[in-house]
Amino acid sequence: MNHQTDMPAGRIVSSDSEELILVDADDRETGHLDKGRCHDGEGVLHRAFSVFLFNARGELLLQQRAAGKRLWPLYWSNSCCSHPRRGEDMDEATTRRLEQELGLRASVEFVYKFTYQAQFGEAGAEHELCWVYLGRADGEPAPNPTEIAAVRFIAADELDRELATHGERFTPWFKLEWRRLRGEHAARLARYAAPQPT
């Protein structure tokens, strides 16, 4: 079931002091570190997730990251991307962040996980072992402005064209994830990117 929540708009829902889960290359937990230090320098490998939500028309929900973000502010990215906190599993983390960022609840399906590192100049880096999910959200998002500057829905083919012509407007993890979803996971993606029967 997908529906909107009554999460208050503008609520501050993340902090550099929150503890994230450090992992090794095989996703085994190795410790904990505050979010700020996880993103210093070249980054410290930690567990993360990315959610791709589609509406009933088969369009992907994109978010533009808030201007106040330390890394990749105002870049476009997938529907929701964040981290499980210390002691939190992925089901809890994805549910929490979808509510906090978008005011939505949605059932999500795990697809794959991968490791990447991306540098954002001297501001820091992402170094994540990221779990990628697909899901459907039929409700209207209510973006939290402390996290998100704007949202929009886009068809898969249109997104491919935009990435080809204006790829610099998108976050590096989103581009990596979308390429794999369109490639080796195309069959599963197609179930979400196709319009639903009315």
Q: How crowded is residue 8: how many other Cβ atoms within 10 Å of its Cβ?
A: 9
What gap in Å lies between CA 82 and CA 156, rounded to an integer? 22
Q: How confident is the model at residue 198 (pLDDT cuts 50, 70, 90)?
A: confident
On whether the CB atoms of residues 29 and 21 are closer than 8 A, the answer is: yes
Catalytic site residue from 128, 130, 147, 177: 128
What gap in Å lies between CA 98 and CA 82, rounded to an integer? 10
The CA dihedral of 172, 13, 57, 75, to the nearest 10 degrees, is -30
Q: What number does CATH give the domain 3-193?
A: 3.90.79.10
Domain residue limits, the chain:
3-193
Q: Is 81 a catalytic residue?
A: yes
pLDDT digits (tens, 9 = 90+) for 110-158: 999 999 999 999 999 999 999 999 999 878 999 999 999 999 999 999 9
CA distances to 32, 53, 64, 122, 167 from 156, in Å? 37, 12, 17, 33, 14
Q: Is 140 a catalytic residue?
A: no
pLDDT digits (tens, 9 = 90+) for 48-101: 999 999 999 999 999 999 999 999 999 999 999 999 999 999 999 999 999 999
Catalytic site residue from 38, 80, 81, 130: 81
On whether the CB atoms of residues 160 and 174 are closer than 8 A, the answer is: no
Which DSSP letter does residue 170 get? B
